[in-house]
Amino acid sequence: MNDPHRGTRAMAEVRARFGSVHEQIDGRRFAGKLLLFVLLVVAGAILVRHGSVWSIACGVILLGLMYAHALELQHEALHSIGFRGRRANVVAGVLLGIPMLTSFSAYRAAHMRHHRYLGTPDNHEYFDYGDQYGHAERTRARTVLAWVYRFSMISLYRQFLVDTVRLASGRPVPGEKPATVRDIRRDHLLITAVLGTAVTVSVATGSTFAVWAWLVPVLLVAGPVHAAVELPEHYRCETGTTDVFRNTRTIRSNRLMAWYTNGNNFHVEHHLMPSLPIARLSRLHQITAPRALHFHRTYRDFYRSLRTPRSRAPLAGPQAEYDTPQ
């Protein structure tokens, strides 16, 4: 017989085996991530400024990759597990959201609700991709349009404009408390100030640097890459259950991707213990691996699996394709 409480007991058992999550957060590790991010952004800006076609192309790609990576770092900050102090996490998170016009406070509020309500009708994510979890049946043409919509990140930029106008006119943000609205307004004021300054300087000097160092990387690289990184988290999982081992996917991948996604590849583990420092997710994975229903060795394996219709897609559980690390 199916036990409706089996998933809950399994999650409680894993948490108990792994021990307390109330340990000291190593802010130096997160500071190191931020420093590397800044250095790579500077390197990308220098490449764009160099002027040759190949240099600009390499700079655009590097900057786009870093802007998408910034949202993964922002995700750590919004869980308050980057630095020990709340204020430091907020400052870092707000700044990290500027490149992709992402309000730290709006993202945090929506994301915490996502963790709370995943597997229920109240679950809604901050980044809207339309068919969020791949459950809709579409014609081939509508499927292509759905993928274009997802990877273009049009919804993010449209929502930024809508919220900016709403906040500028003094109207509340639906579903958010007054204190949260004030924080969202602060984020939008900062982002629009930076955006306005970039546009003003560009027009005044006749420079296209902001276009090649910000606009083009965001539209052509950062948006699609971010959508690609987020897609596997719950796509085609059993999002009608609150069992984390069934409604979320983990991808083991390699050290480079684990760094780039900032541990988000271990997504089952993250949803199981959202307050766990990112550095410990790989250790938790050793315990969760035998239980996770949706698992892939690499991101390439996951995207290859999308070619298989859902009705014929094999379960990607660890029993078939994973050897628990020692």
Q: pLDDT digit string (tens) for 162-177?
A: 999 999 998 889 899 9
Q: What is the chain's mean pLDDT, rounded?
A: 89
pLDDT score, position 5: 57
Each residue of 140-154: pLDDT tens digit? 888 889 899 999 999
Range 285-297 average pLDDT:
90
Q: Are 50 and 171 part of one and the same domain?
A: yes
Could you write out the DSSP letters of every residue in 112-146? Answer: HHHHHHTTSTT---SS--SSTTS-----HHHHHHH
Tokens 């070619």 found at: 307
Q: Is the pTM of this model over 0.75?
A: yes
Q: Are 168 and 243 part of one and the same domain?
A: no
Higher pLDDT, 273 or 132: 273
Q: Which 3 state secondary structure label does DSSP give 296?
A: strand
Range 270-287 average pLDDT:
92
Domain-embedded: residue 222: yes
- The first and second tokens of residue 236, run together, are 């085609």
Domain limit, last residue, from 226, 258, 284? 226
Q: Are 185 and 42 part of one and the same domain?
A: yes
Range 200-222 average pLDDT:
96
Q: Is the pLDDT of residue 202 over 80?
A: yes
100 band by pLDDT with thresholds 50, 70 and 90: very high
pLDDT score, position 314: 42
pLDDT score, position 312: 41
Q: Are 160 and 62 part of one and the same domain?
A: yes
Q: Are 136 and 247 part of one and the same domain?
A: no
d(CA 90, CA 271): 21
Q: Is the pLDDT of residue 81 over 80?
A: yes
Parent domain of 58: 30-226
Q: Which H or E run contains 213?
A: none
Answer yes or no: are the C-beta atoms of 202 and 209 closer than 8 Å.
yes
Q: Are 326 and 292 part of one and the same domain?
A: yes
CA 187 to chain centre: 18
Domain-embedded: residue 124: yes
Domain limit, last residue, from 226, 248, 265? 226
Report angle CA 76, 280, 24 to the nearest 5 degrees: 75
Domain-embedded: residue 231: no
Written as one letter, the residue type at 228 is: A
Q: Is the pLDDT of residue 13 over 50?
A: yes
Closest listed residue to residue 271, CA positions, set 259, 288, 296, 254: 288
315 band by pLDDT with thresholds 50, 70 and 90: very low
Report angle CA 233, 235, 236 to the nearest 5 degrees: 135
pLDDT score, position 6: 63
296-321: burial string, b at 16+ Cβ within 10 Å, e else: beebebbeeeeeeeeeeeeebbbeee
d(CA 143, CA 134): 10
- The first and second tokens of residue 55, run together, are 């240099």
Q: Are 196 and 47 part of one and the same domain?
A: yes
CA distance to 47, 114, 180, 185, 248, per residue, from 173 (Å): 40, 17, 9, 10, 29
Q: Are 194 and 248 part of one and the same domain?
A: no
Q: Are 130 and 84 part of one and the same domain?
A: yes
**137 CB-contact burial (10 Å; exposed 0-12 / middle 13-18 / buried 19+):** exposed
Domain-embedded: residue 170: yes
pLDDT score, position 74: 98
Domain-embedded: residue 315: yes
d(CA 82, CA 74): 9
Range 60-71 average pLDDT:
98
pLDDT score, position 20: 57
d(CA 176, CA 114): 14
Q: Are 116 and 244 part of one and the same domain?
A: no
Range 129-137 average pLDDT:
82
pLDDT score, position 50: 86
Each residue of 30-59: pLDDT tens digit? 999 999 999 999 999 999 998 799 999 999
138 band by pLDDT with thresholds 50, 70 and 90: confident
| Domain total of the chain | 2
pLDDT above 90: percentage of residues in the chain: 74
DSSP state of 308: S
